[in-house]
């Protein structure tokens, strides 16, 4: 079971914080992972928009959007099992997001995974 001291969890928390800051203003220095996510933002955002069509990106909670961007990026580019990525995103949503964030993120990522598998 992952803990707050798990190095992968710590790294994801750091990435989420950078992505969150990037949603408000362009940052001068980004970590390698965040730069890759920003470089692929159009593709990632398109997948999020298709999975949650009733929620325009500009209306989404910014921390939820940062968590979704990281998770979608990992689903596309990571060798990790999708269920691990989704579970980690839900845990991050519990930590940083609002009351409805975990279920919203779980639903969006589940839809993206289902479409990806088709």
Encode pLDDT of 33-48 as tens digits: 999 999 999 999 999 9
The answer to whether residue 39 sits within a structural domain is: yes
DSSP the chain: ---TT-HHHHHHHHHHHHHHHHHHS--SS--HHHHHHHHTHHHHHHHHHHH-TTS-GGGS-HHHHHHHHHHHHHHHH--S-HHHHHHHHHHHHHHHS-TTHHHHHHHHHHHHHHHHH-
Would you say residue 78 lies in a domain?
Answer: yes
Q: How do residues 56-105 score in pLDDT, each as one tens digit?
A: 999 999 999 999 999 999 999 988 899 999 999 999 999 999 999 999 99
Is 1 within the bounds of a domain? no
Provide the residue range defining the domain that includes 33: 7-117
The CATH number linked to 11 is 1.10.940.10
Domain assignment present for 85: yes
Q: For the chain, how many structural domains are there in total? A: 1
């Amino acid at each position: 079971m992952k803990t707050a001291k798990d190095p992968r969890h710590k790294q994801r928390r750091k990435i989420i914080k950078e992505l969150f800051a990037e949603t408000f203003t362009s940052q001068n220095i980004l970590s390698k992972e965040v730069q890759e996510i920003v470089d692929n933002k159009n593709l990632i955002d398109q997948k999020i928009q298709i999975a949650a069509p009733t929620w325009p990106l500009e209306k989404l909670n910014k921390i939820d959007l940062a968590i979704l961007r990281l998770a979608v990026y990992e689903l596309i580019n990571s060798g990790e099992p999708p269920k691990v990525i989704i579970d980690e995103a839900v845990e991050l949503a519990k930590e940083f997001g609002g009351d409805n964030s975990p279920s919203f993120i779980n639903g969006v990522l589940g839809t993206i995974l289902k479409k990806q598998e088709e």
